[in-house]
Structure 1
Amino acid sequence: MKFETVIGLEVHVQLNTQTKIFCSCATSFGEDPNINVCPTCLGLPGALPVLNREAVKKAISFAKAVDATINQNSIFARKNYFYPDLPKAYQISQFEIPIVEKGKIEIEVCGEKKVIGITRAHLEEDAGKNIHEGEISKVDLNRACTPLLEIVSEPDMSSADEAIAYLKKLHSIVRFIGISDANMQEGSFRCDANVSIRPKGDKKLYTRVEIKNLNSFKFISKAIEYEVERQIEAWEDGVYEREVVQETRLFDTNKGVTRSMRGKEEAADYRYFADPDLLPVFIDEALMQEGMQIKELPDEKKERYVRDFGIKESDAEVLISSLELSEYFEKMLEYGASPKGSVTWLTTELLGRLKGEINIMNCGISSEMLATLVKRISEEKISGKSAKEILDVLVEQKGGDVDHLIVSMGLEQVNDDTMILQVINEVLKSNADKVEEYKSGKDKLFGFFVGQVMKNAKGASPARVNQLLKEKI
């Protein structure tokens, strides 16, 4: 029997507001434990929450980016459950009326495009963080009450590859519009994957398993692939109904397997009810307009690069693969480098030299330095070969003055036509027999003449040598 996979994703995006969603504590990451807390985010009796306007604005911006419906009126509810890092024993979230509904994201896998529906995106507060050290567990509540936007997809994905394409597109969108740093290592962008299988052609939705708290594209893919294989094996062995139950599972990154964590709750288990301490949310026209003003989306940027700069679509795809890369590229253009030269020297030459943890943000080579290198090539002050030597030095010493290196390394090209022609004449005169062979049809000898001229005309521009040699011969 052949099966198909059904995947829906719930993504928690930490919004980059300066303060928490219901209090004025800072949202900064990496502080000493339990420093950024107050009676409100600790859930102490008598403390009252006040909604952060900026969080609502960022939710509106996301809705605009994914062509979703914005509910001008929405409400917050209490989602009741106990967990050590949830001080109040309930989470303030949105249930019946979320702020964002019915959006979509287009993905592309193996050349085929597909639209993934977004069911809803709602605002809620984050929980704290449990820290386990041997037999001792500690709780850091700095993260408690940090604003989250939970983005729930339709079950429209049918493979791990589609799920990763969707997540990467979503990750790119929230970063490009500036609502989150989406740092997966810090937990600012994490995912729960709902996975089920069904016989091919069957439209019924079977038992889904939730894989919780995934924060790496690599591990998300591996977790989904393992879970699909586990469910198929259970079906084929006749134990599907006994072994595949609605539950929450965790992914063991060391062994590459999912493990049962707890039974999966339904909405009724959370006993949702409207939070009595928060008024219903009404988005006025001013806030709506503020939120709708978003930065250029990745797909729009890609289209502009191809249209306005004449670069290949595949190169534009690389440039929009990260916010830092696209910003670096655009700064190179501001410093006067050509678009095509910038693409080559950024995506092929510079990135090709950066290894391990070194990237364009910490390599020490600014966009101005690389733009200067590209300009000196187009001005024929240095050859492409010489530019590679200079870039090697820049990478090794983490930056430097390009023009100073050109001089100190003796790489400045000579564009003196009189000198070059003099060398050409000497080469042609001493190789008269080869000149005749060339004229009789042996075109490959042209490379020999170029090599001889470059050998004797130290520092000459290869392009100029080629041009003058063709005219002379």
Structure 2
Amino acid sequence: MSQIEWEVVIGLETHAQLMTQSKIFSGASIAFGASPNEQACAVDLALPGTLPVLNEEAVNHAIRFGLAIGSVVAPMSVFARKNYFYPDLPKGYQISQFSLPVVVGGKIMIEVDGQVKEIQLTRAHLEEDAGKSLHDDFAGPHGESSSGIDLNRAGTPLLEIVTEPVMRSATEAVAYAKELHALVMWLGICDGNMQEGSFRCDANVSVRPKGQKEFGTRCEIKNLNSFKFLEEAILHEVQRQIELIEDGGRVVQETRLYDPDKMETRSMRSKEDAQDYRYFPDPDLLPLQISQERINGIRALMPALPKELREEWQNTYGLSSYDTGLLTQDKALAHFFIEVLKLIEIDLAKPAANLMAGEFASAMNKESLSADLAPVRPIHIAELLKRTKDGTISNKIAKEIFSQIWELGLNASNRQESILLEGLVDQIIDQKGLRQISDVGAIEKIIDQVLIENPKSVEEYRSGKEKAFNALVGQIMKASKGKANPGQVNTLLKQKLI
């Protein structure tokens, strides 16, 4: 058995499809799901005489991303031709950026096992996507086994985001990919749909003996379109490389694909270096110049970032990193919580976070709804919390009312008229007689009756069995139909059992 302790070295290249109406160098649509070649125009087909025209919104998206990660947005960047031949690349080259990218540097913070780590980014550059070769179940005009080309994706705007090789485990790589995924969706520059290929990762993986400074030979695993596959592919590739070296072989630099069914990577082609692509500036596109005025204008419209909101909520409201992490996983959910905070006092922030992470999140997941479409609105959350705080209702009743409002909203023909009314919580409390019993005399009568009916539980508690106390509380709450004030029930019951 080898005594070598190995260190894993990982860098990720992520392709984020930008949310524009048209392609990066043509006016063709990028909508998903069209029939093959329905959305490929003359520019995408590389017909003679066609010229690319840069999509301004794609540039704006790149600037937003650069500002969010604290990078340098280059005042001038250059588009280059990356030369290689595939049938789904009609021009014989891909328009990308090489030596002068639009975004340089930056960082993204991740948390793994309670430890925060900084992931440095090398660059982010704009480029066009290639088309797609169709092989599986594809038949020619006479039914023969064949291959086809779909150029709908050709020219789709991409932002390729490249990290430094600073990740040391599959867990770190997945944490980074998830953080990046959440960020691009938060910024509104990518829809993050991994099944449709809007967000996909290439993992560069190598191993080296621990303590060695030089990197080992890396292999690139292409087009990983789920976090699960990303983790599995890296774990397998690490094991493959270690076993290969320990058996006396050597790792060959190459591009590999991951087979999720067999849970293994397999060789796709030898890995090209930059010189193999013969990069040179595209003569049809002028250098991209970005003014400071444009950058400042976009910065002024940037949303508050998840990290900023987490820090604010922890410092102002005393929420935990766990709570704030959950509430900033999704932009719509975070904005919903912001609206709740505007309606409540500071001491209700923690109960609000609990309700949002509990019943609210569960209901959203069940109905596959985002927070901005949820039938329960911020005003309802605020009213529930206020009525719980002032003793009008118990936490249990508050959850029941939440469910009633949710169902009411789902079934409403006109949600605006039916449930978006201030005072709905009080209306339900009064209609259904749900006000909490806080009268000491009334609660004592209920307790006395329960004690008479449950002598065995009384005796068990007095003999030291704590569970019997909970059983008695349950019977009291049942007798009061959940209306008795739980705090008063506990206090009065203990006094009577002495």
Q: Which TM-score band applies after superposition, normalised by the shorter structure?
A: 0.7 to 0.9
* Residue 233 of structure 2 is aligned to residue 217 of structure 1: no
Q: 1:291 to 1:41 in 2, by over 3 A?
A: farther
CA–CA separation in structure 2 for the residues paired with 1:411 and 1:143: 59
CA–CA separation in structure 1 for the residues paired with 2:249 and 2:428: 71
CA RMSD in angstroms, aligned pairs only: 3.6
* Residue 47 of structure 2 is aligned to residue 44 of structure 1: yes
Give the counterpart of 1:273 among 266, 280, 292: 280
Give the number of equivalent residue pairs: 462
Q: Tell me, what secondary structure is at the counterpart of 2:33? A: coil
State the Cα distance separating 1:140 from its structure 2 match. 2.5
State the Cα distance separating 1:355 from its structure 2 match. 6.1
Residue equivalent to 1:178? 188
CA–CA separation in structure 2 for the residues paired with 1:113 and 1:416: 47
Matches within 5 A, 1:339-418: 339-352=349-362, 358=368, 360=370, 365-368=375-378, 370=381, 373-391=384-402, 399=410, 403=425, 406=428, 410=432, 412-415=434-437, 417=439
* Residue 324 of structure 2 is aligned to residue 316 of structure 1: yes
Give the counterpart of 2:237 among 227, 230, 235: 227
Q: Tell me, what secondary structure is at the counterpart of 1:133? A: coil
* Residue 114 of structure 2 is aligned to residue 111 of structure 1: yes
Matches within 5 A, 1:193-272: 193-240=203-250, 244-272=251-279
Residue equivalent to 1:35? 38
Residue equivalent to 2:174? 164
Q: Which amino acid aligns with 2:31?
A: S
Q: Which amino acid aligns with 2:388?
A: I
Judge conservation of contact 2:26–2:44 (CA < 8 Å) in 1.
yes
CA–CA separation in structure 2 for the residues paired with 1:8 and 1:190: 14
Identity %, equivalent residues: 47
Q: Which amino acid aligns with 1:77?
A: A
Matches within 5 A, 1:124-135: 124-134=127-137, 135=145
* Residue 298 of structure 2 is aligned to residue 291 of structure 1: yes
Judge conservation of contact 1:453–1:465 (CA < 8 Å) in 2.
no
CA–CA separation in structure 2 for the residues paired with 1:430 and 1:202: 73
CA–CA separation in structure 2 for the residues paired with 1:454 and 1:150: 59
Residue equivalent to 2:161? 151
State the Cα distance separating 1:131 from its structure 2 match. 3.3
Matches within 5 A, 1:320-335: 320-334=328-342
State the Cα distance separating 1:284 from its structure 2 match. 1.9
CA–CA separation in structure 1 for the residues paired with 2:368 and 2:254: 40
Judge conservation of contact 1:383–1:462 (CA < 8 Å) in 2.
yes
- The 10-residue stretch of structure 1 (386-395 or 65-74) with the greater mean CA deviation from structure 2: 386-395
Q: Which amino acid aligns with 2:183?
A: I
Judge conservation of contact 2:79–2:98 (CA < 8 Å) in 1.
yes
- Cα deviation code 1:388-411 (max 9, x no counterpart): 344556677883667499469946
Q: 1:449 to 1:107 in 2, by over 3 A?
A: closer
Q: 1:276 to 1:453 in 2, by over 3 A?
A: closer
Residue equivalent to 2:416? none
CA–CA separation in structure 1 for the residues paired with 2:281 and 2:446: 92
State the Cα distance separating 1:120 from its structure 2 match. 1.1
Q: Which amino acid aligns with 2:252?
A: V
Judge conservation of contact 2:394–2:483 (CA < 8 Å) in 1.
no
CA–CA separation in structure 2 for the residues paired with 1:430 and 1:70: 71
CA–CA separation in structure 2 for the residues paired with 1:73 and 1:308: 41
State the Cα distance separating 1:449 from its structure 2 match. 8.9
Q: Tell me, what secondary structure is at the counterpart of 1:385? A: helix
CA–CA separation in structure 1 for the residues paired with 2:48 and 2:433: 73
State the Cα distance separating 1:362 from its structure 2 match. 10
CA–CA separation in structure 2 for the residues paired with 1:234 and 1:430: 72
Give the counterpart of 1:25 among 6, 24, 28: 28
Residue equivalent to 1:102? 105
- The 10-residue stretch of structure 1 (281-290 or 258-267) with the greater mean CA deviation from structure 2: 281-290
Q: TM-score, normalised by structure 1?
A: 0.86
- The 10-residue stretch of structure 1 (130-139 or 261-270) with the greater mean CA deviation from structure 2: 130-139
Judge conservation of contact 2:450–2:476 (CA < 8 Å) in 1.
no
State the Cα distance separating 1:34 from its structure 2 match. 2.5
Judge conservation of contact 2:336–2:372 (CA < 8 Å) in 1.
no
Residue equivalent to 1:65? 68
- The 10-residue stretch of structure 1 (264-273 or 451-460) with the greater mean CA deviation from structure 2: 451-460
Q: 1:383 to 1:138 in 2, by over 3 A?
A: farther
- The 10-residue stretch of structure 1 (397-406 or 191-200) with the greater mean CA deviation from structure 2: 397-406
State the Cα distance separating 1:148 from its structure 2 match. 0.8
CA–CA separation in structure 2 for the residues paired with 1:188 and 1:358: 20
Q: 1:378 to 1:97 in 2, by over 3 A?
A: same
Judge conservation of contact 1:351–1:360 (CA < 8 Å) in 2.
no
Q: 1:4 to 1:141 in 2, by over 3 A?
A: same
Residue equivalent to 1:424? 444
Residue equivalent to 1:77? 80
Judge conservation of contact 1:329–1:367 (CA < 8 Å) in 2.
no
Q: 1:455 to 1:14 in 2, by over 3 A?
A: closer
CA–CA separation in structure 2 for the residues paired with 1:336 and 1:264: 58
Q: Which runs of 5+ in 2 are unaligned?
A: 138-144, 412-418
- Cα deviation code 1:218-269 (max 9, x no counterpart): 11011000000000000110012xxx21111000011100011111111111
Give the counterpart of 2:485 among 446, 455, 462: 462
State the Cα distance separating 1:75 from its structure 2 match. 0.8
- The 10-residue stretch of structure 1 (126-135 or 391-400) with the greater mean CA deviation from structure 2: 391-400
Judge conservation of contact 2:222–2:255 (CA < 8 Å) in 1.
yes
Q: 1:467 to 1:9 in 2, by over 3 A?
A: closer
Q: Which amino acid aligns with 2:167?
A: M
- The 10-residue stretch of structure 1 (22-31 or 368-377) with the greater mean CA deviation from structure 2: 368-377
Q: 1:431 to 1:383 in 2, by over 3 A?
A: closer
CA–CA separation in structure 1 for the residues paired with 2:369 and 2:51: 44
Q: Which amino acid aligns with 2:485?
A: P
State the Cα distance separating 1:116 from its structure 2 match. 1.7
State the Cα distance separating 1:352 from its structure 2 match. 4.2
CA–CA separation in structure 2 for the residues paired with 1:459 and 1:229: 57
